[in-house]
Structure 1
């Protein structure tokens, strides 16, 4: 007798009410936070080796080195975003970006570094070729004299040209802790244009966490509702400076919100492990790892309950400023770039063979996280908690 298919298995998965998920997650966070966050530390340390032997040959090649913001934050070869080849030059397909899972497939998101001056045209070419309609930027442009991300779009109404793509800022709206910009894209010799929504959450400190968990989960919730309300024609682009720490934290939180909203118990460790198999060092440090738990717990409680995931972590946040002022908010001048420099000097082992499509693999938490979400018809409609 053959194995049941994935869909029939997923139909049997039990779903829970928001109150049940909150109660279980509350107890789990309390257990992880006991004895000076010992559980959090253990889980995070267990993730240190995940993905570190996956090859990054394209990013290491001499022709592409100047396209990397940080020399040791490179995209894995097996899931890197490939651009169209220009002028028969094979190296023109490179950009420091990876497809990562996050709700419905292996390619729900693209996590990438903040564009450099010499990669801005490539960035917009990626947005065009991948049919992206939403960009989420979770970094300031500068910290003191250090550029964290080059200004790749007009901050106010106006037009710039990036390669063959015309980038026009149409409107800019201010949210509580972020800016929402509507951008019009037009490619030369193409009769149609496209609309991009650009979210700019700039008060998140480099290598740290926002000062208040409410700020991040409310922002993430806003983006989640937007993504669920529009046709998913292409992946959502998420970037910070290196595209690993803050980007990974945001994607993890959004992913788990989607999961909980459909009545599925969250597994943050499994989500981070899965992300790290697609881009190195996603959710870069313990502070960010704990902060995901805090944000999710507060979101589940409706924003009114006290965070029970250990002591409140204080990030180096600051008051809202207009993005044109380029005000920095950083807890470390080292930035996200240094996280795995030693670990990634030597990587020769090839990636492991893809897992067999067995019942055990289908029900692995990392697989369930995204396989349960593409169609709400797979879930108990009475358990939807969104």
Structure 2
């Protein structure tokens, strides 16, 4: 019995010693990180900082692998800090090989996941995580703003994205910096990165359908039309007839040359927001492209009913009347003058030229030096026999061109 008790006690001591050894790995990682890495970094001793960080990684990886310590909030906290520090070193020194070679290409993601798990597991390390995140944001936010002002949009986008991502470690969803990242990537012509940032915005539910529309627009730019359609379909499934999503769907359909699908999307959009002048204006231009002249006229008039000073609608309605009138006149001229339709078409053509004067004259009041419109007004008035007006517009055109 004594022998058996001794063996049992010895086993317990051994097991306790093994657990202690694993706890020592947590402590050793903490010592290497806080007492060696951080002071070296603060004093600019980059090589010493890298050495300490690699030692810290060795210990925290051992702690992360052992069943006794792999799930503790302490191990998770230090793993997040140590792997995140590797990404910070890379940003400071430009030495991405150091991170990829020693910590892997996903070091930053590993860091965020570990910190977030530690944060949600218990309250012990929350203040440390919050202080770490706030310190990094405080360092990076001015840098991101400076990059933006200097038009270094790729660098600004990376910094804004880092800020967004690191704040998720303390369960904060920073949509402003994620939007800024997407915007900067777009300005840097990094449309794939912009699309990915905007897609994250969409999943979060940024400003209703705006995230979905931005993401689809970015995917359209890189001609990934299937992905753009997929994003918009997700948005429609979640938000229904959101006007921002519908407008982007119209733009995508028009890019693909599918005006019929674009028209359907706009009709859905108008049903969702009947007082939106832009929707009526765009559907008017689509009907124009489809050759449905009466529907185009109706939609553009509706836009002007909502806003009588809507310049784009004034211009396009006038241009639509001119094109329509010219087409009828040309068709009439192809007929025998004795054909009944000859006079009907010419009469309708003249009526349309007269209709064009109204919106185009309102437009030119606001844009008095638009040479193209001045020329059109000269030609219409000359065609209608309004000689004095025609000469006035001709003189203004000669001056503006």
The structure with the greater share of residues assigned to strand is 1
TM value normalised by structure 2 = 0.22
Bigger RCO (CA 8 Å, 6+ sep):
1
The structure with the greater share of residues assigned to helix is 2
TM value normalised by structure 1 = 0.22
